[in-house]
Every structure is written in structure tokens, then in C-alpha cells.
Structure 1
Amino acid sequence: MPLTIIIINIIALVMGFLRTVFSVIPQWNKLLGSMFFSFWVLSHMYPFAKGLMGKRGRVPTIIYVWAGILSITIALLWITVDPPSDPIQT
């Protein structure tokens, strides 16, 4: 369960940044608020993640692979479902 919370917060950071950058009227204050909260949650989950990875001191490669695949998949699905509108209209 906590690993799911960590992954969701990382995805929320990426999606919030992309939503702000690609919006017609960027709302940077909303981005800063959401990023602050996500970093706050991630910083409190760090001890759990550190214990989850074991005593060897290195992160298993599968964690990076699944996090990357999941992030890319959700980002592509989001863009497919709700594509950014074209700000230049002729």
C-alpha cells in the first residue's frame, strides 16, 4: 500500500507539471501547492521505502522499470483521453 502511494505521488508530480506547462493559461500557484504536498508525502514515505528496499543498500532494477512503464502508460493514456487544446486558432 505505501509503495502505491509513493508511485501515485510521483505520477501526480509529473502530470501536474505537464498539465501546467501545456495549458493555455498556466496556473503556477496550483502547481506549487500540489508539488509541495506531493513532496511532503514523499518525504514522509522515505523511511518506509528505504526499509522496503532491503539491507543491501541498492534499489532493485525492477522498481525503476515498473515505475517508468507505469508513468509513461498513464501519461499517454491521459493525453489520449484529454489532449491539450491548440492555443493558436486561425
Structure 2
Amino acid sequence: MMHGNGMMEGMPMMGAAGWIFMILLWGFAIVGFIFTVQWLLSKRKSEKEERPLQSPLDILKSRYVRGEITEEEYNRIKKDLE
């Protein structure tokens, strides 16, 4: 003999407190996801802003200091830049 309508047999129906809990759980999950995405995007934006732009002359000076170019190359390129 079958009891009930066959749907969710053996599982008690969720009361009002259960539905409220479920809605709150999904709400916190969605809000948490939104805040996480916003935080990641703002972090990425701030990393881009932290790097100062170097002028070509600054790049040339740093290459000379690191020994990547000789003094003659440095002077020739510096003359071209000015």
C-alpha cells in the first residue's frame, strides 16, 4: 500500500525555518561571490596603478647600470632620445 503521493517519500517537509535558512544560505553565497569578484578586480586594477611608467631615458640609464649596453651605446642612444 502506498502512502502519500509518492513525492519525497520518507523526507519530512521543510518548515518555514528551513526555507528561511535556505534563502539566507543562497543569499550569503551570492553576496560572497560578488564581493570576491569585486575584490579580485580592484586588486588587479591597483597592481596596474602601482607600477610607475618609466621614461625611455630612465630605461636607458637602468640598462647602462646593469651592464647591458656600453658607454658608447648609451651616449649614442641618449643623443637620439634628446
TM-score for the superposition, normalised by structure 2? 0.30
User: Relative CO higher for 1 or 2, CA cutoff 8 Å, sep ≥ 6?
Assistant: 1
Bigger fraction of residues in helix: 1
Instruction: Select the structure of larger CA radius of gyration.
Output: 2
